Amino acid sequence: MSRQQTLTELESVLESFLDRVVAVKEQRLEVLDGINRLDDIARRIDRGDELTDQIGNWFAEHNRWLSEGTLRQADTTRISRILDQIGSRLEKAEETTPAMTKIAAEIERWQRQAGGEKKIVLTRGPETAPKSDTERPGSLARFADQLQRLTARFDDLAGSSQHVLSALDDALTSAERQQNKDALILSALIIYSLKQENYKVEPYVKRLRAAERRIQGGRTDA
């Protein structure tokens, strides 16, 4: 085999390998984006928004994950926790609609297939007076909640990365493509940490600033 033939064959093998790596990375990003989207829906429900259509659409788009073996154990655990949060919100609703009943059934089906056995009972909740300002979660509680979300997001990224720079790249990609504030903040934290260890972070800082301008200038997920 000539030198040119050897180089051509090696190039073909390398291209095939890179194609597989890209496919795996894209699939992982799809999973992370899907979970983050469900988390966003759950947080908006906690603020009182009616989002049964969006939850239904989420199930329609992602039910295949259970049969394809796409999810890692950490993914399954996080999704189950978010669905428990949504289910609890549905149980406390003052009025039960057909759409809510359907969503509750979908949550139960997902939890069964994922290994959980939570049963959701929808009933009319007791009338309660509006919370006073002193009873609402303050800035400390909101910040603690955000830290938990950032930790969960970093755990997801770290599970699919070999180095913190790979996790940073994925976080910046999510901030750029999804205009996700949590991903933006996580990216800033990682960049700051790397800077303390004397990494060259200038290219990442430029991406961070560009993503921040995009979020500030367009629709955000806040």
Give yes or no for a contact between 188 and 205, defined as CB atoms under 8 angstroms apart: no
Residues 6+ apart with CB under 8 A from 100: 52, 90, 93, 122
Which amino acid, 157? L
Closest CA to 222 of 157, 145, 109, 170: 145
122 φ, ψ to 5°?
-95, 120
**Which pLDDT score, from 0 to 100, does residue 206 have?**
92
Angle between helix 181-196 and 139-159 (nearest 10): 70
From first CA to last CA, the distance across the chain in angstroms is 60
- Predicted TM-score (pTM) of the model is 0.44
Average pLDDT by stretches of 10, the chain with 222 residues: 63 55 63 87 73 85 82 86 85 78 87 66 47 54 81 80 85 88 89 87 91 75 41
Q: Are 133 and 163 spatial neighbours (Cβ–Cβ below 8 Å)? A: no
